[in-house]
């Protein structure tokens, strides 16, 4: 073992990173254990191989470092170096006949070493549900809600802190994703089996990532070519007639290259109408997705390149509808075509180990064509993105800086019937960010300036901080500004599933918001087992917001930009316990106060429950062969828009939904390289009664399929198989 003392200071907190050496290469070790012999305290390295360990007062102390597949080693910590940041190297145990080390990897939780509040969702957490695509990857998560937007297209949208998903910046490995035309239907294009982990950040993100992070940031980490399985197969089917097949694999190609390929084919082939209203409960669909990525490791440069494409087709509406065939039936047809290429290049300074330059590139093209009854939408988007980042230090590693330049070009055209909205955006930007890393206090302060060709200069200051109140209690805070340009039609395309007329008022203004908030994370032991309690609160205030007013008139939907009229308050608390060995419980509660001016008065946003809670239970048998997972979600009452009930013109007096509970469960059996899983969704069979208004007259003035506040389909039963061939050791 070798270790490097980087600096010494005056607070009893040891930080470090653990590497594993195998032959001539090394990699960070996830799940390595660091244990103090004197105080019986321990830490486990996270996905970046880093750890934090609070030491006691009496020295010297001995640390034992262990990881599966590597020789254990020890480190004596004296009083003078108890505050060090260390680098630890463990070596392969191939000379030993057998070593058994148990390390429990946490697949869900707040990343302790991050200054921002970053919630980590690992691969193990994603396996708790069917997780066939991104929209189903948050079923066991309380921070992100996924809602069906209407009763005919099957479109889904995320919500964070009670705000629409367009205010959450979604990235794939720090590259913009699900932006513009993609935002309405793109969540079904990436299967959950491709995803290695998801990081969820509440509040404004770093200025390095862009100006659009207004309510939060979701970053998707796709499986890396250097770590991916040689072959992974996932097959899925459910009782409604949905089937999916996912494949991926890769490995080393030559001395410096790694490659990986991902394939996804899915379809919904059944015609399901269990509520007998003449409309399909789930649209029929076909989806093809392909991703190919490469990584190059050189002495002077590292690079990643890739291409991502998908095609999707959906048909919903009345039973028997076929696009272009049954014109007398009400139907919904959606077609999406997407292609993008991306690249990352990194250039470390050879003689300055803490300095580097990285550049991110992306170019994409997307087309969406949609028909809702007699209403026709089409959209085309071309986009280019470049982000160049310089990373360095000022004096020592306590003071870090990031500066850079970004450029966004977007050519987006939306057309709804005779309304055509073309827009070309050219947005060069510059940013700077300073990070101070102390032993108890860490802060990040940054600002970015973007020049928008339509709206001029936009300044986005942001600040984040983390303070260690004691060895188990962490306080974080954040605040900052964000802006985006709304895409009125595609952002609200599900509202076309209604006979209401659209009235577009002053919509061509940027949306601007300020977000402030903070969190407390308390770690403790219950019955000798690791537990945690977190609480967070965030307030978002809009200077400008595009408001969709469905209360002004029962026969119209008004789109208008309001000034200083919208805000949201979000409070969430979450308790995580290990009740018994390998038996985990997670309990969360969320309060959402999201208001704006609707119908001339300040009201709660539509379809947002004030109260939301989640219970997740997970158990693994001792031999890890069986896994049992149960998730119960409670949704409080939601405010509903007024509507015309039927052809008589009678107004509904019901403007609030019912509260309800959804119950999902899954059983997984692991047999060597095979996994078999059986699960059920909506096991209580709770369904919204008569979800489509005036379904017997879909071309009449009162038809409305947008008043969806609960599941339309009943209990779903699914079955799936996973098979993998692991990466060979000699490929590392």
If you write DSSP's letter for every residue of 643-708 in order, what string do you get? Answer: -B-STT-PBP---B---EEEEEEEEEEEETTEEEEEEEESTT----SS-SBTTT-TTSTT-B----
Q: Measure the CA–CA gap between 391 and 206, rounded to whole angstroms.
A: 14
Strands 441-452 and 13-22: unpaired
Cis peptide before 60 (omega within 30 of 0): yes
Q: CA nearest 158: which of 137, 176, 172? A: 137
Q: Residue 522: exposed, middle, or buried by beta-carbon count in 10 A (0-12, 13-18, 19+)? A: middle
**Coil, helix or strand for 630?**
strand
- Joined tokens for residue 71: 């020789």
Centre a 10 Å sphere on the Cβ of residue 624 and count the other Cβ atoms it contains. Answer: 9
Show Cβ contacts of residue 43 under 8 Å, excluding neighbours closer than 6 positions.
33, 34, 35, 51, 52, 53
Cα separations (Å) of 327 from 276, 315, 335, 374, 732? 21, 13, 18, 9, 58
Rounded CA Rg of the chain = 26
How many angstroms separate the CA atoms of 533 and 475, rounded? 12
- The predicted pLDDT at position 57 comes to 74
| Residue 403: strand pairing partners | 390, 432
pLDDT recorded at residue 250: 95
Instruction: Write out the CATH class of domain 221-731.
Output: mainly beta
Distance, CA of 67 to CA of 45 (rounded, Å): 10
3-state secondary structure of 585: strand
Q: How far does the chain reach from its first CA to its final CA, in angstroms? A: 20
Each residue of 336-395: pLDDT tens digit?
999 999 999 999 887 777 889 999 999 999 999 999 999 999 999 999 999 999 999 998
Count of CB atoms situated within 10 Å of the CB of 495: 20
* Rounded Cα–Cα distance for residues 503 and 553 (Å): 11
| Residue 249 DSSP SS3 | strand
Give the CATH class of 108-220. mainly beta
422, 469, 592 from 537: Cα distances, Å:
38, 18, 10
**Residue that the structure tokens 């191939």 belong to:** 94
- The architecture (CATH level 2) of 13-91 comes to Sandwich (2.60)
Report the pLDDT value the prediction gives residue 11, as an integer from 0 to 100: 45
Residue at token pair 């055509």:
420
Closest C-alpha among 186, 187, 157 to residue 337:
186
Which pLDDT value is given to residue 557?
A: 94
Q: Give the number of C-alpha atoms closer than 13 A to the C-alpha of residue 593, restricted to the C-beta side.
A: 9
Distance in angstroms (rounded) separating the CA atoms of residues 2 and 88: 6
DSSP-derived secondary structure letter, 9? -
Domain boundaries, the chain: 13-91, 108-220, 221-731
Residue 615: both structure tokens together: 């219970």
| Residues whose CB is less than 8 angstroms from the CB of residue 446 and which lie 6 or more positions away in sequence, other chains included | 206, 207, 208, 402, 431, 432, 433, 434, 461, 462, 463
Tokens of 467: 């303070």
Backbone angles phi, psi at 194, to 5 degrees: -75, -20
3-state helix, strand, coil in the chain (%, to 5): 5, 60, 35
In which element (H, E) is residue 491 found?
A: helix 488-491
Residues of the chain with pLDDT under 70: 1-12, 23-25, 80-83, 93-106, 131, 326, 643-654, 728-732
Q: In a 3-state reduction of DSSP, which class is residue 623? A: coil
> Is pTM beyond 0.75 here?
yes
Phi, psi (degrees; rounded to nearest 5) at 619: -135, 135
| Residue 133 tokens, joined | 């695509």
Helical ranges in 416-541 per DSSP H: 488-491
> What is the DSSP pairing of strand 611-620 with strand 601-604?
unpaired
Q: Which residues are CB-contacts of 261 (< 8 A; sequence separation ≥ 6)?
A: 248, 249, 250, 290, 291, 292
Give me the residue label for tokens 């390998």. 582
Residue 123 to residue 224: CA distance in whole angstroms: 13
Which region, left, alpha or beta, applies to residue 480 given φ > 0 means left and ψ of -120 to 50 means alpha? Answer: left
Neighbours of 394 (CB within 10 A): 12
Backbone phi and psi for residue 646, each to the nearest 5 degrees, phi listed first:
-155, -170
Residue 82 has a pLDDT of 66
Cα 79 to Cα 9: distance, rounded to the nearest angstrom: 11
* DSSP 8-class letter at 351: T
pLDDT of residue 396: 87
Predicted local confidence at residue 99, as pLDDT: 45
- Using CA atoms, how far apart are residues 158 and 670, in angstroms rounded to an integer? 32
């Amino acid at each position: 073992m070798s270790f490097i003392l980087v600096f010494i200071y005056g607070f009893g907190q040891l930080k470090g990173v653990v590497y594993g050496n195998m032959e001539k290469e090394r990699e960070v070790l996830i799940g390595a254990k660091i244990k103090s012999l004197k105080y019986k305290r321990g830490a486990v390295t996270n996905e970046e191989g880093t750890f934090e360990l609070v030491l006691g007062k009496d020295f010297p102390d001995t640390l034992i470092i262990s990881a599966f597949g590597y020789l254990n080693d020890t480190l004596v910590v004296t009083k003078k170096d108890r505050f060090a940041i260390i680098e630890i190297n463990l070596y392969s145990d191939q000379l030993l006949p057998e070593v058994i080390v148990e390390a429990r990897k946490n697949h869900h939780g707040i990343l302790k070493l991050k200054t921002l509040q970053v919630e980590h969702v690992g691969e193990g957490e994603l396996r708790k549900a069917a997780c066939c695509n991104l929209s189903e990857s948050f079923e066991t998560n309380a921070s992100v809600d996924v809602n069906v937007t209407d009763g005919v297209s099957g479109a889904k949208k995320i919500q964070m802190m009670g705000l629409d998903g367009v205010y959450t910046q979604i990235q794939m490995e720090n590259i913009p994703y699900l932006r513009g035309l993609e935002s309405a239907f793109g969540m079904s294009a990436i299967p959950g089996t491709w995803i290695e982990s998801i990081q969820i950040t509440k509040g404004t993100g770093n200025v390095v990532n862009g100006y659009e992070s207004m309510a939060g940031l979701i970053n998707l980490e796709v499986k890396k070519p250097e770590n991916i399985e040689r072959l992974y197969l996932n097959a899925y089917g459910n009782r409604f007639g949905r089937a999916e097949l996912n494949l991926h694999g890769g490995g080393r190609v030559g001395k410096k290259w790694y490659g990986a390929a991902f394939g996804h084919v899915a379809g919904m082939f059944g015609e399901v109408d269990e509520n007998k209203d003449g409309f399909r409960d789930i649209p029929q669909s076909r989806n093809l997705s392909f991703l190919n990525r490469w990584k190059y490791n050189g002495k002077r440069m590292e690079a990643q390149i890739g291409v991502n494409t998908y095609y999707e087709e959906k048909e919903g509406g009345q039973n028997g509808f076929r696009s272009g065939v049954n014109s007398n039936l009400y139907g919904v047809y959606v077609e999406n075509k997407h292609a993008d290429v991306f690249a990352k290049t990194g250039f470390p300074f050879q003689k300055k180990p803490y300095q580097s330059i990285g550049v991110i590139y992306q170019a994409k093209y997307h087309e969406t064509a949609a028909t809702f009854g007699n209403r026709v939408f089409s959209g085309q988007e071309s986009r280019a993105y470049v982000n160049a980042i310089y990373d360095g230090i000022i004096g020592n590693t306590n003071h870090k800086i990031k500066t850079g330049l970004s450029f966004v070009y977007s050519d987006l055209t939306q057309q709804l019937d005779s309304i055509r909205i073309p827009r070309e955006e050219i947005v060069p930007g510059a940013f700077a960010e300073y990070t101070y890393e102390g032993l108890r206090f860490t802060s990040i302060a940054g600002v970015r300036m973007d020049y928008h060709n339509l709206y001029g200069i936009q300044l986005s200051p942001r600040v984040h901080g983390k303070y260690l109140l004691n060895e188990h209690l962490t306080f974080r805070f954040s605040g900052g500004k964000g802006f985006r340009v709304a895409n009125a039609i595609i952002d609200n395309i599900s509202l076309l599933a209604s006979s209401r007329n659209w009235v577009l008022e002053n919509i061509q203004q940027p949306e601007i918001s300020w977000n402030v908030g903070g969190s407390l994370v308390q770690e403790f032991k219950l019955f000798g087992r690791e537990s945690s309690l977190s609480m967070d609160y965030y307030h978002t205030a809009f200077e400008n917001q595009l408001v969709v007013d469905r209360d002004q008139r029962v026969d119209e939907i008004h789109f208008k930009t309001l000034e200083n009229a919208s805000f949201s308050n979000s409070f969430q608390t979450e308790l995580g316990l290990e009740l018994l060995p390998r038996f985990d419980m997670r309990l969360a509660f969320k309060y959402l106060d999201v208001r704006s001016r609707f119908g001339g008065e300040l009201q709660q946003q539509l379809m947002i429950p004030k109260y939301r809670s989640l219970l997740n239970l997970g158990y693994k048998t001792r031999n890890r062969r069986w896994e049992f997972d149960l998730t119960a979600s409670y949704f409080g009452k939601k405010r509903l828009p007024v509507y015309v009930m039927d052809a008589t013109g009678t107004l509904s007096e019901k403007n609030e939904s019912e509260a309800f509970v959804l119950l999902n469960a899954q059983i997984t059996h692991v047999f060597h390289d095979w996994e078999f899983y059986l699960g059920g969704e909506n096991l209580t069979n709770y369904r919204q009664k008569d979800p489509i208004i005036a379904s017997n007259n879909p071309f009449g003035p009162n038809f409305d399929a947008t008043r969806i506040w609960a599941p339309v389909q009943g209990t779903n039963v699914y079955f799936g198989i996973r098979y993998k061939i692991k990466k060979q050791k000699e490929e590392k």
